[in-house]
Structure formats: C-alpha cells, structure tokens
Amino acid sequence: MLNQGIYYYLCSVPNRRKIANSVVRPIFQELLEAYFPVTYPSLLRRHLEGRLSGSFAGDFTDETGQQYDVLVHRLKLKVISGYEFVRDLDDLLTEFMLFQLEYAPGDKSPKFNLLVDECGKNDILRDKEIRKRFNRVHFLRTRGLHRLEKEIPDSEISQIALQFYVFFEYLKDYWEAQEEKTVILQGKRYRRIRYGKESMPKELESTWSEMVTRPCGDCEVIQGELHLEGCDLESCPRCFGQFLGCECKREDDWE
C-alpha cells in the first residue's frame, strides 16, 4: 500500500527522480532503521533465507516473543486478516503453554482452557485477567471455526494485539530479571536481593512479612523472585537502601 501510494505520488510530480532520491529514499531508510538494529541488506536477506539465526527486528529476544512480533506486524501491514491473526495467536499461545508446561512434542495436548488452568496452577499465568484473555482468544477462534462467524470488530483485534504485546514484553523482562542474579557495584559483585529477603527495621518487619505474601506492588513478582529492572521496591545489596535511588552504581560498573 505504501509502495503504491508513493508510486502514484511520484508519477504526479515533475522532478520525480530528485524527489525519489532526496525525500522518499531517506524516509524509507528511516523506517528501516527504526525497525531493524541491523540494516545491512545482505544480512537481512540471509536471515530471511534462514541461513542466519538471531533476531534483527523488534524488542524480543525469546522465540515466542519474536514469533508474536512477526504476527503483529503481519496484521499491521494487512498481510493477514483479523481472524487469521486470532487463529495464529491461538496456535502460538497453545504452543507457548505446552512448552512452558513441558509437554513433549507429539504428546496429546489437553483442551485449551484446561491448559490455561494448568498454567495458572503452575505459576506460569498467575494473573487471572491474563488467563481470561487467553480464553477469549480461543473463544473467538473456535467461534469462527464452527459458525463461520469470522467478523471480529477491528477495535477488539487491536485491543488483543496490544494486550498480548504488553504480555510478551513483561515475560521477556521477567525472564531477563530472573537471569540477572548478581550486580557489580563499586567494582564488587553482589547477589541481588530477592523479593521477601530484604532486611527491614524491627518495627517494619511484621508489616513487611505480611506485604510480601502478595505480589510486588510495582513489578508483580512473587516472594523469592528477582524484581524487574527499574522496580522501586528492590533493595540494594550494598547499602540496603532503595536500589533504584541509591548512589552505589558507578558508570564503570556497567557490564
């Protein structure tokens, strides 16, 4: 669509060669660079041909996130319809749950809603709202299959697309935080303090131990987990103050 628009626009101007080079090309370059950290055409081509692994686009580092990113962009570019988006998302969510629950490939998989429940019990999808969203996607998909009601309002499609973007982004940040077990402060390596392991002044101890039975109010991790980057409830392992605001980080400590 963009190409067509630009083609007809260029046809309508007299100095089209100059405009193509000085206006259209820089805009394309800008768009390309906004999406791809690596813009060498030969690398991108090799990636598309499957000869090069790794990610060249988007915010995601894990495979499910990357697959979702591609799916969202196919929707945005209207390569697929809203219903096809829901259908492919439903497949992606099923695969995601089977993988997280450690089903072996080829195992007979339970019904979608049972998988969602199982993920809820196993701390994979602990948020009730998220479980509802999973089931909603599956409902929309199966409704389309059975009654050929494939019209889902665009507003709902964009809402689903955004909600799942946020979901996969949170998952990525969550996994990254759990991997980052230590931090270097003033040249020395410290173990990060897990949620619920903070040392509190005596008078706050009982209130705090009651607090930590609920998920972290800022980043939603549960007791024993590592806070997400930028959480304002994480304690600093060096000075025991608020990690976000303390003075322990020095520039030469960045790994």
Q: How far apart are CA 48 and CA 192, in angstroms?
A: 39
Q: How far apart are CA 212 and CA 209, in angstroms?
A: 5
Can residue 239 be called a binding residue for Zn ion (CB under 5 A)?
Answer: yes
Q: Give the shortest CB-40-to-Zn ion separation in angstroms.
A: 39
- How far is it between the farthest Cα atoms of the chain? 79
Binding mask 166-205 for Zn ion (x = CB under 5 A): ----------------------------------------
Of 20 and 248, CB closest to Zn ion:
248
Can residue 222 be called a binding residue for Zn ion (CB under 5 A)?
Answer: no
Q: How many residues make contact with Zn ion (CB under 5 A)?
A: 11
Of 24 and 211, CB closest to Zn ion:
211
Q: What are phi and psi of 62, to 5 degrees?
A: -95, 160
Can residue 233 be called a binding residue for Zn ion (CB under 5 A)?
Answer: yes
CA dist list (Å): 199 to 189, 220, 232? 19, 20, 16
- By CB under 5 A, the residues from 199 to 218 that bind Zn ion are 216, 218
CA dist list (Å): 242 to 35, 47, 234? 35, 43, 6
Of 97 and 177, CB closest to Zn ion:
177
Of 103 and 174, CB closest to Zn ion:
174
Q: What is the CA radius of gyration of the chain?
A: 24
Q: How far apart are CA 98 and CA 66, in angstroms?
A: 17
User: Are 126 and 118 a contacting pair, CB within 8 Å?
Assistant: no
Judge residue 44's burial from the number of C-beta atoms within 10 Å of its C-beta, 0-12 exposed, 13-18 middle, 19 or more buried: middle
Of 87 and 227, CB closest to Zn ion:
227
Q: Give the shortest CB-43-to-Zn ion separation in angstroms.
A: 37
Judged by CB under 5 A, the stretch of 64-72, 135-143, 205-213, 245-253 that binds Zn ion is: 245-253
Can residue 219 be called a binding residue for Zn ion (CB under 5 A)?
Answer: yes
Of 30 and 252, CB closest to Zn ion:
252
Judged by CB under 5 A, the stretch of 49-57, 70-78, 98-106, 236-244 that binds Zn ion is: 236-244
Q: Give the shortest CB-87-to-Zn ion separation in angstroms.
A: 36
Q: Which of 201, 200, 193 is nearest to 224 (CA)?
A: 193
Q: Which two tokens stand for residue 231?
A: 């959480």
List of residues contacting Zn ion (CB under 5 A): 216, 218-219, 227, 231, 233, 236, 238-239, 246, 248
